[in-house]
């Protein structure tokens, strides 16, 4: 096998339909329509989430046995690409990832099945995962004692305020364990809302000290270990899909400005100093798009293989960088307008800044890729 390896790329009828539906939703709720919600409590229009629930998207990747659509997580890639175009944020990302983690870790456990059923019908959920800034950290500090009591804290728990279920990633005697908690088990005094650079997102810092987890809500074993590893990669993929959509919309915004703004009696889009970077962005975004759909073709319900891991990591590295550059150039190319709150360029750039560090930054993924690709 060559270093470029697998170049599978499929796009199913279902994915095409999802892409169309998500694009429609993105047109109806995204862009300018999403702006008034940015400084509200939820951060998004509740009517949008209601629509997603009505469409069955929270159960998109969940098994049919728990009321999901059984389409697999690859089907979420077109959805997030389209939502990214509208700069939309809802609990969908957090919920699908939490569902995927539970489904992969312990699909046959009765408690998990009943929680997954709730998720499929629209109860938001989230994974409490990150403890410090380092996504690549080896150890989990948060501990579940032998008596089933949690200690430790988590940060950037996505959509924790909206979530009804939390999946806490903890350890017990050095072995990873998942603790399934109804979110209202975490008292208000133990939560602090983060201020995120991307205003379309919500996340909380949670102090978990002293929270008791009933034994049937504790999941452990080899499946948990591999589910954690796989969902880290899937999280990177879904965020890459969203970043790809945001980057494409960002480039459209910049191009539209360059086609109408005049200086020195000329449309500024005629200057090569502005044209050529736009072409570089187009190429970067085209690469991101190819990579996310390639990865979507490789992520099945089973344990992710080497090629799927390579694909997810490449997708995040490429898409994260594309969005950052698209946002950065959008601000610059809008001139003084780009420096204002009113101009949408800041929304793309702020989204890029949040996205780059989440689920592994570009250098993290490239470092892992080097080991995967270059070490015999």
Partner 1 sequence: MIGNTEKQEFRAQVSAWMSENKPADPGFLLPQSFMEVGSEQQLEFLREWQHKVWSAGYLGIAWPRAYGGQGLDPVFQSIADQEMRRHGVPICFNVIGLGWAGPLINDIGSEADKSRYLKGILSGEDIWCQGFSEPDHGSDLVSVQTRAERDGDSYRVNGTKIWTTLGNFARYMILLARTDPAAPRKYDGLSFFLAPMQSEGIETRPIRKLTGEYGFTETFFTDAQIPASCRMGEEGEGWRIAMRTLMYERAAEAGAAGGLAFVRVVVDDLVDSLRERQRDGAPVLEDPLVRDALVQRIIEEKAILLGERRARIEALASDYPGSLALTHKLRFTESTRRLRQLAVALLGADGGLYVDDPGVPVGGFWQRAYLNSFAATIGGGTSQVQANIIAEQVLGLPR
> Would you tell me which residues interact with partner 1 (CB under 8 A)?
2-5, 7, 9, 11, 16, 19, 248, 251, 255, 258-259, 267, 269-270, 272, 274-276, 278-279, 282-283, 286-287, 289-291, 293-294, 314, 317-318, 363, 366-367, 369-370, 373-374
Cβ nearer to partner 1, comparing 68 with 269: 269
Helix (H) / strand (E) element for 288: namely helix 272-298
Cβ proximity to partner 1: between 229 and 275 the closer is: 275
Closest separation between CB of residue 251 and partner 1, Å? Answer: 8
Nearer to partner 1, 3 or 146 (CB): 3
Burial class (CB in 10 A: 0-12, 13-18, 19+), 277: middle
Q: Indicate if the alpha-carbon torsion angle 126, 127, 133, 136 is positive or negative.
A: negative
The answer to whether 10 and 66 have CB atoms below 8 angstroms apart is: no
Pairing of strands 191-193, 262-263: unpaired
Q: Which is nearer to partner 1, 294 or 351 (CB)?
A: 294
Q: How far is the CB of 117 from partner 1 (least distance, A)?
A: 32
C-alpha–C-alpha distance, residues 280 and 299, integer Å: 29
Decide the pairing of beta strands 125-128 and 165-172: parallel
Rank residues 100 and 325 by Cβ distance to partner 1 and give the closer one: 325
How many Cα atoms sit within 13 Å of 61 on the Cβ side?
30
Among residues 303, 242, 269, 231, the alpha carbon closest in space to that of 86 is found at 242
- Using the minimum distance from each CB to partner 1, give the nearer residue, 197 or 373: 373
| Token representation of residue 192 | 């602090």
What's the angle, vertex CA 239, arms to CA 238 and CA 245, rounded to 5?
Answer: 95
Residue 80 CB, nearest approach to partner 1 (Å): 14
Minimum separation from the CB atom of position 171 to partner 1 (A): 29
| Closest to partner 1 by CB, 16 or 24 | 16
Kindly state the smallest distance separating residue 289's Cβ from partner 1, in Å: 7
Residue 137 or 283 with smaller CB distance to partner 1:
283
- C-beta of 78: minimal distance to partner 1 in Å? 9
Shortest Å, Cβ 371 to partner 1: 8
Q: How many C-beta neighbours within 10 Å does residue 221 have?
A: 14
Name the residue with tokens 């990177």: 236
CA 366, CA 252: separation in Å to the nearest integer? 28
Q: Shortest distance, CB of residue 285 to partner 1, whole angstroms?
A: 9
Element (H, E) at 266: strand 266-267
Comparing CB distances to partner 1, the nearer of 5 and 300 is: 5
In angstroms, give the least distance from the CB of 316 to partner 1. Answer: 11
Measured distance CA(28)–CA(8) in Å, rounded: 33
**Residue number with CB closer to partner 1 (170 or 296):** 296
Q: Which two tokens stand for residue 124?
A: 């938001």
> b or e along 318-347 (b: 16 or more beta carbons within 10 Å of the residue's beta carbon)?
bbbbbbbbbbbbbbebbeeebeeeebbbbb
Q: What is the C-alpha separation between 1 and 310, in angstroms, rounded?
A: 14
Cβ atoms < 10 Å from Cβ of 352: 25
Closest contact distance (angstroms) between CB of 365 and partner 1 is: 9
3-state secondary structure of 162: coil
């Amino acid at each position: 096998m060559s270093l470029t390896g697998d170049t599978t790329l499929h796009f199913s009828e279902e994915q095409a339909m999802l892409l169309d539906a998500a694009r429609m939703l993105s047109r109806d709720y995204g862009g300018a329509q999403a702006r008034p919600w940015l400084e509200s409590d939820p951060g998004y229009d509740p009517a949008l989430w209601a629509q997603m629930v009505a469409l069955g998207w929270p159960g998109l990747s969940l098994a049919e046995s728990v009321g999901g659509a059984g389409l697999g997580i690859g089907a979420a890639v077109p959805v997030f690409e389209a939502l990214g175009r509208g700069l939309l944020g809802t609990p969908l990302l957090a919920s699908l990832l939490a569902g995927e983690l539970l489904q992969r870790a312990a699909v046959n456990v009765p408690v998990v099945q009943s929680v997954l059923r709730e998720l499929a019908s629209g109860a938001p959920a989230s994974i409490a995962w990150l403890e410090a800034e380092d996504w690549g950290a080896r150890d989990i500090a948060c501990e579940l004692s032998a008596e089933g009591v949690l200690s430790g804290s988590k940060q950037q728990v996505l959509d924790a305020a909206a979530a009804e279920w939390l999946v806490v990633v903890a350890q017990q005697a050095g072995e990873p364990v998942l603790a399934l908690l109804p979110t209202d088990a975490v008292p208000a005094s133990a939560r602090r809302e983060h201020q995120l650079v991307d205003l379309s997102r919500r996340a909380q810092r949670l102090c978990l000290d002293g929270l008791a987890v009933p034994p049937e809500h504790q999941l452990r074993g080899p499946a948990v270990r591999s589910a954690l590893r796989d969902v880290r990669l899937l999280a990177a993929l879904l965020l890459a899909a969203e970043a790809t959509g945001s980057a494409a919309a960002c480039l459209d915004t910049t191009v539209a400005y360059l086609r109408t703004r005049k200086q020195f009696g000329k449309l500024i889009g005629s200057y090569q100093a502005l044209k050529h970077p736009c072409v570089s962005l187009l190429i970067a975004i085209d690469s991101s798009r190819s990579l996310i759909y390639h990865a979507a073709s490789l992520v099945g319900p089973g344990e992710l293989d080497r090629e799927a891991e390579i694909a997810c990591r490449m997708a995040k590295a490429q898409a994260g960088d594309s969005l950052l550059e698209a946002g950065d150039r959008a601000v610059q190319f809008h001139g003084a307008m780009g420096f204002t709150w009113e101009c949408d360029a800041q929304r793309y750039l702020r989204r890029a800044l949040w996205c780059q560090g989440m689920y592994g930054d570009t250098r993290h993924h490239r470092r892992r890729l080097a080991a995967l690709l270059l070490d015999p």
